[in-house]
Amino acid sequence: MLTLTQTAMPDPDPQKKKSSLFSFFGLTRPQTRAEAEIASGEDHVASELVDHAREFQNLSVADVMTPRVDIIAIELSSTLADVVRTCIESEHSRLPIYRETLDDPVGVVHIKDVLKLLGPDIGKTGPNWAEPILHRLRRELLYVPLSMTTAELMLRMQAQRIHMALVIDEFGGTDGLVTLEDLVEAVVGNIDDEYDEAGEDEIRELPSGQIEVDGRVEVTTLQDKLGLELFPEDTEEEIDTMAGLVAVLAGRVPQRGEIIPYKKAGFDIEVLDADARRIKKLRLHRRSFADADLTPADE
């Protein structure tokens, strides 16, 4: 059982920490709010980044972490074939390694190290797919408490050149996972690559009749699929994605686990995954017919 023994040391110079954070993003931090407003007139995008970096100081790792139930990890005794299969299916370049349970993490494996075992210099016989390999490929990862700030974690990752941290609870159990990409996205917004495009495959109807939807799915896409009008009145020009729709309905970015009633569409919308800045995944629960106020999409 892993126990958390490290505690954050007090920073003798908090201002230096903040300056380092802004330097990390290549930003010049205005000294006053008035200066920030002047900068906004000259460069709105840069000003927004500065504001986000300032807000970033108040976030904790709990605000941006992937919860335990969504962590994709691999057991220490896994074979080369298991590791390659998991990397392909998860589309992750790094995977945490555990011994028997996720509460006993032992490191992280990087896909680059796995690829070296598949290179042309391994001999004529090819790779040994049945060989357990993680004991010699595992790298260090960080273990941090829920209360650690995102700013402190980012600076620690930068200093130690480690891009992944497991969030540990007070009993030593694994609570979540944070990557450097999670921290950067908390400042600059969602970073999509060719594997992150949302589409029809990001709308999944469950046997129970519930519908799981990626937050990036366009409202019009889901609207066409369901044949229902989903936009609140006079919002079609303001909302593009389902994440935006839910934020408008709630009047804020709701937290993971919240349920937003939406009688017009005949659904209660549950937030399955979200951080302090964005909604990632939703589940639509159908209301009873008598409790709904359905509007066809073509009206």
In the chain, where the domains are located:
15-58, 63-188, 200-291
- Of 129, 158, 282, 132, which is closest to residue 216 (Cα–Cα)? 282
Residue 245: Cβ-neighbour burial (10 angstroms; 0-12, 13-18, 19+): buried
* Candidate ranges 65-74, 106-115, 223-232; pick with highest mean pLDDT: 106-115
Instruction: Return the CATH fold of 200-291.
Output: 3.30.465
Mean pLDDT for 129-145 is 94
- Of 142, 132, 152, 137, which is closest to residue 60 (Cα–Cα)? 152
177, pLDDT greater than 90: yes
SS3 category, 174: strand
- What was the pLDDT predicted at 269? 94
Mean pLDDT for 181-208 is 72
Tell me which architecture the domain covering 63-188 has in CATH: Roll (3.10)
pTM beyond 0.85? no
Query: Is the model more confident about 213 or about 23?
Result: 213
- What was the pLDDT predicted at 196? 56
> Fold identical between 63-188 and 200-291?
no
